Structure 1
């Protein structure tokens, strides 16, 4: 895969910039951490070379100075809000985050329940945190937020919130998802710190949009595609242009909120340290791009993936038509269409020839392999096996798994597990391949090729099963599906 991002350079630049921002405020900084912290797969796709845990590794380089505070909206607990990518609720994800941080040697200071108004589920969660030995603080709704500055920055506003006890120079405020109250937590802390005569500052760490790339750079357009459900857009930061005469890119919500945020900081600190939303950021990702063309190509592919994901969701649920249409518009802006990946044409052609669902994958060297639905394997399984044979140099016609070993699994599925589909899913195929590899060197060679498929693009002529899609994603293979089902039916598992 072409690399376009210098990961090591980024970690060094980013850590150094954050240290400078800590020093700017006299040794204490509340850093609002946006986006995914240690599983940022979007960034790794559009900036090839960026590792999903890069931001986490950057923090590790200054771990002794870092304290973690996790914010969660009490209303999200009450409504059992889910993380779609992980399939767990926000309150469970907070516990997951604490475990991950602690396992890497970070100090997790506390959890802040924002927007707390006596929600029963939030009270249950508070007791659970107490039993687990996790310190919990409460922040309350403020009437007139965010426009009634006088009330917000007063004893009746931020002053009502619990003061979060912290002990490190860098306090990273993160959350399980958007709308959790990270910014309000940071500003509340600034109010309390300054009331106590303690110097402290605020900054924001968001990877996208990348402020020093052009507005219509594919990497920034890809971020719009990724957040199309929010109906937001990247825009030129007018405050930065006016204050500094420099054209930079920011998100429209941050630009719209800046006057209010600036007024709050002026009220808290006497004067605002920032003249624009861009000033608040510390992101250095743009300086670590080593091959702009590679990043442009990767971002364009991501935009198309986002389109097919939305189209598939529309087919599944009959909702999201506006998102699909907006993504069509975004593709036009980026100069791409549905046929950008050669895997799509290959999969559709294979389906036409075999009259059955098919798939195709672009390998690291640019070759395209296909897989068709058979008697014992589905298209996803067949494609995975063919791709593994191709990258390991094994003859495509050589049967690596004996049919006699597959048949008992098919029988188990239908006769004992009552499945209507006897063909092997991709995870079942990998298990069969693993068992075979214990006694067959060729099978062992084939399964060793899995790492070579990470980052490859696969396309299927129909919507594949959630099991197959999940297996591909775990392997790091990007999956797109034509938005249609294999058969006409009202109910699809």
Structure 2
């Protein structure tokens, strides 16, 4: 993928800007970290050159002053919401984040369960945290949020929430994913700190939408595609336009909540330090794009991938049809279609020629490798084997796994494990390949190519089993597929 983002420039500009913002406030600053802190793969996909752990690298410079509060919505717990890129639930991700933060020396102060209305799975998760000696607080659902500011800023609103006890001047508020309630958590703390006589400030570190890129820029449209399940909409910031007569981009939830934040600041300090949602942000990413065309192209591919993901979610009854329609609208705005993904075109052509479910994988140099379903392998396995053969310079006819090796595995699957599908999944084919590599130098050479698949693109013309999707994800292959076809 062509580099389009200067990560070193970004680290320098961003860390300096955050330090300046911390200096604007007194006793305490709540810094809302939007997106992924450890592994912002969305940012690395749409801004090629952006390192997934960039935010973490900046935070480590401030680790002696900082503590982390992790926020998770009770609704997401109750629905067992899954992080699509990692294939784990949000509550599993909270535990993973705590472990990862502590591993690099960051202090995790507590976990906050937001939008709580008595959900039983939220109660169970709190007990799980308690057993691990992790402080956990409830923030309750507020009827009328975010429009009824009078109720929100009262004992019946934020006043009902548990007060999060924090120890350090910089409180970083993060979450497994969007819509968890990070901003509401920060605002609630401003209210409670005021009650406790503590002067506190708030700032937002959110990579997307990028405020100084046009509303319909592909990078910003890709953010809409990424949050289609939340029905987020990028908007011109009306408050910023009114205050400064400058056009900037924000998104609907921040714009909707801004009057609440402004009222809280006015109640505490007599005036608000911010005139707009854009003022709240500290994001410098827009200044570090080195190749706009590369970022636009990468973002358009992300939009198509998100469209296929929503179609899969709809087929599996994990979302409503409106989400798919939203993705179709974003694709139209970006001027792309399914066929603008090269591996989609190649996979469908292979299916047409072979009369069987097929797949295609686009390598880093643009080469397209295809494969089809056989009596031994599914489409995912076939494409993967053909790809590593090509990278190793091995002829298609060469046998990397002896045919007699397939029989025992197929027998195990169908006779003992109850599978009706005798074809080998990608994990099974890789195990067979690794065993063959002990005596077959060509198999060993093919195995060594797996690391070259990171960042490649693949499409399969039928539904893909979770195990195959997981293997592709672990290899760094960005896969799309047609879940409606079985």
TM-score for both structures, normalised by structure 1: 0.91
Tell me how far apart the structure 2 counterparts of residues 393 and 62 of structure 1 sit (CA, whole Å): 48
Tell me how far apart the structure 1 counterparts of residues 50 and 409 of structure 2 sit (CA, whole Å): 39
SS of corresponding position for 2:134: coil
CA, structure 1 residues 168+441, in 2 after alignment: closer, same or farther (shift >3 Å)?
Answer: farther
Whether the 8 Å contact between 2:178 and 2:227 is mirrored in structure 1 is: no
CA, structure 1 residues 110+366, in 2 after alignment: closer, same or farther (shift >3 Å)?
Answer: same
Match of 1:415 in 2: 415
Deviation readout 1:321-340 (Å, 9 max, x if unpaired): 33323322222211111111
Tell me how far apart the structure 1 counterparts of residues 430 and 66 of structure 2 sit (CA, whole Å): 41
State how many pairs are aligned: 485
Match of 1:20 in 2: 20
Q: Which runs of 5+ in 2 are unaligned?
A: none
Determine whether 1:106 maps to 2:96.
no
Match of 1:41 in 2: 41
Match of 2:458 in 1: 458
SS of corresponding position for 2:449: helix
CA, structure 1 residues 475+7, in 2 after alignment: closer, same or farther (shift >3 Å)?
Answer: same
Match of 2:277 in 1: 277
CA, structure 1 residues 155+468, in 2 after alignment: closer, same or farther (shift >3 Å)?
Answer: closer
Tell me how far apart the structure 1 counterparts of residues 392 and 348 of structure 2 sit (CA, whole Å): 25
Match of 2:211 in 1: 211
Tell me how far apart the structure 1 counterparts of residues 354 and 180 of structure 2 sit (CA, whole Å): 50
Match of 1:334 in 2: 334
Q: Tell me which moved more, 411-420 or 132-141.
A: 132-141
Measured after TM superposition, the shift of residue 7 of structure 1 is: 2.3
Measured after TM superposition, the shift of residue 171 of structure 1 is: 0.6
Match of 1:490 in 2: none
Q: How does 1:398-409 map to 2 (within 5 A)?
A: 398-409=398-409
Determine whether 1:310 maps to 2:310.
yes
Tell me how far apart the structure 2 counterparts of residues 115 and 205 of structure 1 sit (CA, whole Å): 22
Deviation readout 1:97-130 (Å, 9 max, x if unpaired): 2122112211011223445566555555444433
Determine whether 1:83 maps to 2:82.
yes
RMSD of aligned C-alpha atoms? 2.4
Q: Tell me which moved more, 100-109 or 58-67.
A: 58-67
Tell me how far apart the structure 1 counterparts of residues 340 and 115 of structure 2 sit (CA, whole Å): 45
Measured after TM superposition, the shift of residue 262 of structure 1 is: 1.2
Deviation readout 1:425-456 (Å, 9 max, x if unpaired): 11111111122223333222211212211111
SS of corresponding position for 1:137: strand
Whether the 8 Å contact between 1:80 and 1:89 is mirrored in structure 2 is: no
Deviation readout 1:248-300 (Å, 9 max, x if unpaired): 11102221222232112211222111011111111121122221111111111
Deviation readout 1:225-262 (Å, 9 max, x if unpaired): 12222223111111112212221111022212222321
Match of 2:435 in 1: 435
Tell me how far apart the structure 2 counterparts of residues 259 and 147 of structure 1 sit (CA, whole Å): 8
Q: Which runs of 5+ in 1 are unaligned?
A: 487-493
SS of corresponding position for 2:448: helix
Tell me how far apart the structure 2 counterparts of residues 109 and 412 of structure 1 sit (CA, whole Å): 48
Tell me how far apart the structure 2 counterparts of residues 120 and 475 of structure 1 sit (CA, whole Å): 36
Tell me how far apart the structure 2 counterparts of residues 243 and 291 of structure 1 sit (CA, whole Å): 31
Whether the 8 Å contact between 1:208 and 1:223 is mirrored in structure 2 is: yes
Q: Tell me which moved more, 150-159 or 470-479.
A: 150-159
Whether the 8 Å contact between 1:153 and 1:268 is mirrored in structure 2 is: no
SS of corresponding position for 2:339: coil
Whether the 8 Å contact between 1:80 and 1:90 is mirrored in structure 2 is: no
Q: How does 1:129-144 map to 2 (within 5 A)?
A: 129-141=129-141
Match of 1:491 in 2: none
CA, structure 1 residues 366+15, in 2 after alignment: closer, same or farther (shift >3 Å)?
Answer: same
SS of corresponding position for 1:422: coil
SS of corresponding position for 1:171: strand
Match of 1:189 in 2: 189
Tell me how far apart the structure 1 counterparts of residues 116 and 418 of structure 2 sit (CA, whole Å): 47
Whether the 8 Å contact between 1:194 and 1:269 is mirrored in structure 2 is: no
Tell me how far apart the structure 1 counterparts of residues 425 and 105 of structure 2 sit (CA, whole Å): 38
Whether the 8 Å contact between 1:46 and 1:302 is mirrored in structure 2 is: yes
CA, structure 1 residues 348+252, in 2 after alignment: closer, same or farther (shift >3 Å)?
Answer: same
Whether the 8 Å contact between 2:87 and 2:470 is mirrored in structure 1 is: no
Match of 1:384 in 2: 384
TM-score for both structures, normalised by structure 2: 0.92
Q: Tell me which moved more, 192-201 or 115-124.
A: 115-124
Determine whether 1:72 maps to 2:111.
no
Measured after TM superposition, the shift of residue 88 of structure 1 is: 4.8
SS of corresponding position for 1:44: helix
